Amino acid sequence: MARVKKHSAARMSPSNPLDLLVEKTKGKKNTAKKTNGGKLKTTGGTATHCPLGIPGPVSTSVELSPAGAPALPQSSQDSVLPAVVLPKKVRTGRPSSVQPGDLWCSLCGNGHASSVTCSKCGRSNCPGCIPELAGMEKEELDSCTYECPTCCGRRNIFYGLWKGDAPVFPQGMTIANTAKGDHGVRYKSSSVIVLEFIMASVAGKGTPALALHVQLQGFFSQNPQDLKYRCVPFDVDPSNLEPHREKVARVVNLLNRENFDQAILIVHTHSDKERGDLMYCGDGNTTSQSTGISDFFEKVIGPDLREYFQSRKYSMMVLAACGSVVRIPAACEELREVANSFKFADTFAFSEADLDPYRITPFITEFVMNVLVTGRPSKDTVPAALSLSSTLHYTGVVHLQWTETGVEMERFERVHPTARPNGGRFPLQCKICRAYRPWVVPKATKKRYNIKQVFKCGTKKCSGFLVVRRLKGYRPLPDRLDKIFAALISPP
């Protein structure tokens, strides 16, 4: 039997119900089927298959200007994994210390030069949120052990500062009403690099990477040097990789000098609709050339960047390319191998045949904000980010998560009982009566999700009907669309 895994998520509007179907696969084989060439200023399509480093039948190299986009700020954070809270009776004895303002308060989210660090989880709190801290000298604070409100726990008196096993304030410390996040939120502050590799023919303003960088800037106003953005446009001559390799080497040298803790790679290109290959030169149409996903990452991204991403505290990759990358099993398996090789903690690809990359921006920014800024586990963040991304409703999302035992894959599809059964699109028009969006569930159907997947035209006296092919491994979800997300896992 299929196992069901539930994800909590924000309440969704009942007028626009959204639920997700997820196919999760483990091991070597990938059963997800979705993603196809990138659509920006040009559209994807077929491309000549030509492994990089070997001259192809058509050479369309274009000489690029040497630079990427100018550097902008980045962020500092600790680990993305949730903090481990020690039992109350276990005290580390590590004294709290005044930080130089590079940690954000877990209550108000602001940086402060006199923040005090929790000896259990590493969260910090500022005197604006804990007024008693403002009246204490640094030497006095250093002689105490601090326990933040999250580690104190709900319904427990917040003593905060301890000397040995005795609270410094027996009556408890004051917590100002300044919280901007949920209980347990941890505003992160590790440095972040947003790195964009974008095909030259689709480069432009407002790309997902640029939008993400702008969104993050507000959270690094206290330490703008900890957030940076770098762009590497590419149009690679398959017979001469040296100019591109030199460009990538300059980027790697920069990254190694600044040593960012967290790294986000957004690869923005087209994919071949028949093979799922990624394009590396041309304009995205017939003059383009493509190569397999593994070869693309080996030659265009390069082994030096692979080592860099492997060594980060946290790294993620977004592949902004059309759906053939995950629809074609062989290509999807290559993507899994790349995610495993680079050790990306989270990798995202999209199933829409002609992906509009600008529409994925809200989802990406919401996910990054939750994982990199507030420190939530990515597993819990994906369903919530999907529910809040209205522009993403037209495409499915494939999420690959790296673990010590391999890469786990989840496939999310938006479904609707009369609009997107099993994530598939209805025809916009009835071919018999020409009515626009006429499909309804027959009255005789008792269950909301229409197990037989039969739909009829709602126009009076029209005999039009539609039978939707059920996707393999998928099951109907519960009716409580406004409260839960379910991950339906296919049996082995």
Dihedral-angle region of residue 462 (phi above 0 means left; psi in -120 to 50 means alpha; beta otherwise): beta
Rounded CA separation 317/367 (Å) = 12
Taking the C-alpha atoms of residue 414 and residue 367, their distance in angstroms, rounded to an integer, is 17
Strand order in the sheet with 145-146: 145-146, 161-163, 166-167
- Sign of the dihedral defined by the CA atoms of residues 256, 258, 260, 266, in that order: negative
Residue 308 to residues 64, 71, 190, 404, Cα–Cα distance (Å):
25, 18, 16, 18
Residue 451 has a CB neighbour count (10 Å cut-off) of 12
CA-nearest of 117, 150, 116 to 136 is 116
Q: Residue 228 in 3-state DSSP?
A: strand
Alpha carbons 276 and 279: distance in angstroms, whole number: 9
Instruction: Please tell me the distance from the alpha carbon of residue 424 to that of residue 420, in angstroms, as a whole number.
Output: 5
Instruction: State the residue for tokens 């964009």.
Output: 196
* Nearest CA among 113, 88, 95 for reference residue 103: 113
Q: C-alpha angle 413/418/419, rounded to 5°? A: 50
Per-residue pLDDT of 411-457, as tens digits, reads: 887 776 666 666 666 777 888 888 888 888 777 665 555 566 778 88
Distance between first and last Cα of the chain: 9
Count CB neighbours of 8 within 10 A.
10
Residue with tokens 């809040």: 388
pLDDT tens by residue, the chain, 492 residues: 333 233 333 333 333 333 344 444 444 444 433 333 433 344 566 777 777 765 544 333 333 333 333 333 333 333 232 333 323 333 333 333 333 334 678 888 777 777 888 888 878 888 889 999 888 888 888 889 999 998 888 888 999 999 988 999 999 999 988 877 777 777 766 889 999 999 998 877 789 999 999 989 887 877 788 899 999 999 998 888 999 999 999 999 989 998 899 999 999 999 998 899 999 998 766 678 999 999 999 999 999 999 999 999 999 999 999 989 988 889 999 999 999 999 999 999 998 888 888 889 999 999 998 888 877 888 888 888 887 777 887 788 999 999 888 899 888 877 766 666 666 667 778 888 888 888 887 776 655 555 667 788 888 888 888 777 665 544 444 443 333 333 333 232
Rounded CA gap, 349 and 339, in Å? 11
Determine contact, residues 144/94, Cβ cutoff 8 Å.
no
- Residues whose CB falls within 8 Å of the CB of residue 295, separated by 6 or more in sequence, listed in order: 51, 52
Report helix, strand or coil for 407: strand
Three-state DSSP at 415 gives strand
pTM for the structure as a whole: 0.69
